[in-house]
Structure 1
Amino acid sequence: MIVTPVRQPPLGEQLLGQLRALIVRGELAEGTHLVEGWMAERFGVSRGPVRDALKQLEIEGLVETRKRGVSVRGLTDTDIVELYAVRGALETLAVREVIARAAEADWAPLDDAVAVMREAAAAADPVRFGAADLDFHSGFYAIAANRRLASTWALHRPLFAAMLAVTNTDRDLAPVAQDHADLSAVVRSGEVEPALAALAVHLDGSCSRMRAFMATRSAA
């Protein structure tokens, strides 16, 4: 039997994911000065991956360069609203294109993601659930077959993954899986306006949960 080794993400990607999650959760507070040497030592990597991670986090708006170096900017309520506005615009276009291609669509990306979400909900596994949640939404871009639209969404997906990780904790995920199944059904109906309305409600709910989490954290 041939066993395929499990590929571990490069150290830079692992570091980027850790830093992103720490900032979104508020464990790296706004204003924290991020020194390359200290971070390299703490995370056991060279300065190169640290530098690359900080550049990407600055693109995502989570850190900023000041006179004394790079500092945590954090994730504000305005940031969340803006992120979901961008996501809504992208996904609205994707769903429109999905419906336009409905006659030839392969719905497997949506069906497979919902199946995994149900399994993860039953197993109380929020990490696997969150990945399947984003796989579901990525399915719209795959079915739409708009390469540039899909690549734009891919730029934002990691940050949304970090945000989902905090809102899916201590929550009954079975109804969320059903919400995705219902959204899939509406899109498959081929009626543009009901599909877009359902998508808007779906994303608004996700946005509201993240804003509520951040408000609770700020009040603590």
Structure 2
Amino acid sequence: MTILQYKKNQKILGFERRLLSSRFIQSIRIVVLASLVICVAPLATNAEIPKTELEQKSQITPQKPIDSAKQEAYKKALELSQEAMELSAQGTSASQQQAIAKYEEALIIYRKLGDRQWEAITLHSIGMAYDLQLNSELEQPQKALEFYQKALTIVQKTQDQDFEATILSSMGRSYSKLKQPQKALNAYFLALQIYQKTGAHFQEGDTLTEIARFYN
């Protein structure tokens, strides 16, 4: 692997960490808020809390708290995702294999919970672990594509356009490694259309750069 390829992989991994970190933080907030609801709920039954004028007018119905078993499952899955992300960041072949194992454990939990968003994120992360190895001879772009495609199918149903474009870009990279330029270009152009539609100018620029490589 050249220095240029190494730097490019690190850039991609950095984007993955930012993506996972933002969604990890969001999910942690959900779990923490759920804990607070569970803790505060018994107090509400023992003390009469006066309603504000706004509450009286809107007649707010409190949300049903997440049950403790589900809360613990989310906590475990998020811990596995965080550990996998840290292992993946080390960049070695051994750490990537360990990361894949952690992601697969988390994937089982997310599927049991029926959380399609985190299922898609984890499938994409597994694909990246197969796709981005320090030693290019150990990369498995075809294996990566299998996971990218599964993630893409979910995301297209949930209509998460930003993440859909991210997956398409990853697929473009894998097709390029497999010497399938037309499929790579098709994936990049689909991603480009989404970036232009959503106004993601930084990602749009990166995608245009990738496309330009095919015409040099």
The bucket for the TM-score relative to the shorter chain is: under 0.3
Quick one: higher RCO (CA 8 Å, sep 6+), 1 or 2?
Answer: 1
Question: Greater helix share, 1 or 2?
Answer: 2
Question: Which TM-score applies when normalising by structure 1?
Answer: 0.26
Question: Which TM-score applies when normalising by structure 2?
Answer: 0.27
Structure having the higher Rg = 2
